[in-house]
Structure 1
Amino acid sequence: MTMILYGISNCDTVKKARRWLDEQGVAYRFHDVRKDGLDAARLQGWIDALGWEKLLNKAGTTFRKLPDAEKEGLDATAAKVLMLGQPAMIRRPVVEADGDISVGFSADDWRARFAA
């Protein structure tokens, strides 16, 4: 299984997820979407699989700091532009493993999916 964990290195949830994977001995590759970038095609694949509403982190500081005009009337196209421009707006971590895409971290869910 080739797992890629996408996130931001200083994100607490990403740190928890990486720590959990390390403790379980699960091999993965980390991709920092802020430092390493994120291409539009990959983000579109995530949107197609999960929906932009699930990917866009409206509770995060970056989104909350946006002017109200940018927050109102969001659709898939506008959300994609926001997430590409400011990857911190993407809910984290996004995990690609065995052709499956998921977002967020839950030790219980991950134990069922990834633990050997």
Structure 2
Amino acid sequence: MLFVCYPRCSTCKKAQKWLDDNGISYTYRDIKEDNPSLEELTAWYKESGLDIKRFFNTSGQLYKSMQLKDKLPGMTPEEKLRLLSTDGMLVKRPILVCGDVVLVGFKEQEWANTLL
């Protein structure tokens, strides 16, 4: 299981504590130090079944400064994935990848239903 997060993110800290408290083992990956590749993001997007917009950190400073709210609607999914692969701070976190299951963002009940 791969746990992709940003160490200074409070939601990521909650998710990590939840994983630890439930005895779930994982490989930790800092999204700022080791940005997901285009190939990884493409696979996660397809496996998750989620709208591509869910993969964007819409509350992040970089998202806002790049005015992506206005730009994303005119982009193809491939262009969006390519953009996400350029900077980990654009990516919604945490991401938990377990086989063909991909969870984006931390919703405790969703994680519990999927993992416990």
Question: TM-score, normalised to structure 2's length?
Answer: 0.82
Give the whole-Å Cα distance in 2 for the aligned partners of 1:69 and 1:14.
23
Determine the structure 1 residue equivalent to 2:12. 14
How many residues align? The count is: 113
Query: 1:93 & 1:21 partners in 2: Cα distance?
Result: 12
1:25-56 CA distances to partner (integer Å, 9 max, x unpaired)?
11111111221232221111122233422212
Q: Is the 8 A contact 1:13 1:105 kept in 2?
A: yes
Deviating more after overlay: 103-112 vs 43-52: 43-52
Q: Can you give the 5+ residue segments of structure 1 that lack an aligned partner in the other structure?
A: none
**Cα offset, 1:8, TM superposition:** 1.5
- Are residues 108 and 79 of structure 1, via their aligned partners in 2, closer, same or farther at CA, if it must alter by over 3 Å? same
SS of the residue 2:78 aligns to: helix
Q: Distance in 1 between matches of 2:100 and 2:75?
A: 28
Please list every run of 5 or more consecutive structure 2 residues that lacks an aligned counterpart in the other structure. none
For residues 55-95 of structure 1, give each alpha carbon's deviation from its aligned partner in whole angstroms, at most 9, with x where no partner exists.
12223221001146972523313312221111111111111
Query: What is residue 95 of structure 2 aligned with on the other side?
Result: 94
Alpha-carbon distance in structure 2 between the residues aligned to 1:69 and 1:20: 31
CA contact (8 A) 1:56 1:79 kept: no
Deviation of 1:102 after TM superposition, in Å, equals 1.6
Percent identical across equivalent pairs? Answer: 24
Which whole-Å CA distance do the structure 2 matches of 1:76 and 1:10 have between them? 29
* Closer/same/farther in 2, CA of residues 68 and 94 from structure 1, 3 Å limit: closer
CA root-mean-square deviation: 2.1
- Identify if the C-alpha distance between structure 1 residues 66 and 24 changes in structure 2 by more than 3 Å, giving closer, same or farther: same
Q: Distance in 1 between matches of 2:29 and 2:8?
A: 12
Aligned to 1:52: 52
The CA distance in 2 between the partners of 1:96 and 1:60, in whole Å, is 22
Q: Find the aligned partners of 1:99 and 1:55 in 2 and give their Cα distance.
A: 16
Contact 1:9/1:32 (<8 A) preserved: yes
